[in-house]
Amino acid sequence: MLELIAIRKAFNQGKPNEFWALDGIDLEIPQKGVTVLRGPSGSGKTTLLTILGCLARPTEGRVRLHGELISGLPERFLTEIRRKTFGFVFQQFNLIRGLSAIENIILPSYPTGERRSVLLERGEALLEKLRLSHRRDNAVEWLSGGEQQRVAICRALINSPQILIADEPTANLDTRLAREFLTILKLLADEGRTVVMTSHDPVVADSEVVDRVISLRDGRIVPDLAQVFAQAFG
């Protein structure tokens, strides 16, 4: 469904400190399942995630969504695709301080121009689903780490995106909360959503929720041993 072809991404291109974060990535994310990008820091997994989520454009190569080429689209259209198709959960949660949980959740829907009552209803349903209704009107900076993450997940889901993108979602959580996160992830995967996330947390990588692990190093995909076997003897 989401397809990357010969992706390369450079930072500071043309300058002495030019640096290729991704160097030839071919990847296909299927419609269903949870994919984890793994690798040491500097391996390019976050950069790959930004390209998958249409947050950034590749320097070279093509991105296809449902078979359509989207890497060349102007910003406006890209933003619209991002809003409709992707939901984001960031490592630092990136909630807007001073706003209540519900206001943070409906924020991504503002540009759609839907009625506020509709948005509130949808936000409340999500809070309900993640058992957070009692925090509806609390300012987000007063919530605990786990609660903040659940608010962030609600926000990512407000526009009912097909694909959920998460960057190190368990980095700021203890093991108990990380497991709770995986439960939520299971819930979403069962609904038929695609999840792509980066993580170097063994709790995540070893979880049965995860369907696929892709390892990166120096901006390239490292073939998985199991896959190599499968290809050789399958």
Partner 1 sequence: MNDWIERQRHLLDFTLTSLARRKTKNIGLLVVFALLVFVLASVSLYTQALRSEAVRVLEQSPEIVVQRLVAGRHDLIPPDYLEGIGRLRGVRSIETRLWGYYYDPVLKANYTLMVPRTRTIEQGEIVVGPALEHTRGLGTNTGISLRAYSGELHTFLVTDVLPHETELMSADLVLMNEGDFRRFFNFPDGHYTDIVLSVANPREVRNIGLKLMEMLPDARPILREEVLRTYNSIYAWREGLLLALLSASILAFGILAWEKSTGLSADERREIGILKAIGWETGDVIRMKFWEGFVIAFSAFLFGYVLAYVHVFYLRFFLFEPVLKGWAVLYPRFALTPQIDAMQLITLFIFTVVPYVAAVLVPIWRAATTDPDTVMRS
Buried b (16+ CB within 10 A) or exposed e, 153-192: bbbbbbbebbbbbbbbbbeebeeebbebbbebbeebbeee
Closer to partner 1 by Cβ: residue 160 or 227: 160
- Give the shortest CB-227-to-partner 1 separation in angstroms: 27
The contact set with partner 1 (CB under 8 A) reads 46, 49-50, 55-56, 75-76, 79-80, 82-83, 88, 90-92, 94, 96-99, 103, 107-116, 155, 159, 167
Least distance CB 194 / partner 1 (angstroms): 17
Name the minimum Å distance from CB 159 to partner 1: 7
- Residue 148 Cβ vs partner 1, minimum distance, rounded to whole Å: 13
Smaller CB separation from partner 1, 81 or 177: 81
CB of 229 to partner 1, least distance (A): 34
CB nearer partner 1, residue 97 or residue 176: 97
Q: Between 21 and 185, whose beta carbon lies closer to partner 1?
A: 21
**Cα distance between the two ends of the chain:** 24
89 CB-near residues (< 8 Å, 6+ apart)? 149, 152, 153, 156, 164, 165, 166, 167, 169, 197
Give helix 116-129 / helix 145-157 axis angle, nearest 10°.
130
Annotate 114-152 with three-state secondary structure: CCHHHHHHHHHHHHHHCCCHHHCCCEHHHCCHHHHHHHH
Task: Name the residue nearer to partner 1 (CB basis): 83 or 204.
Answer: 83
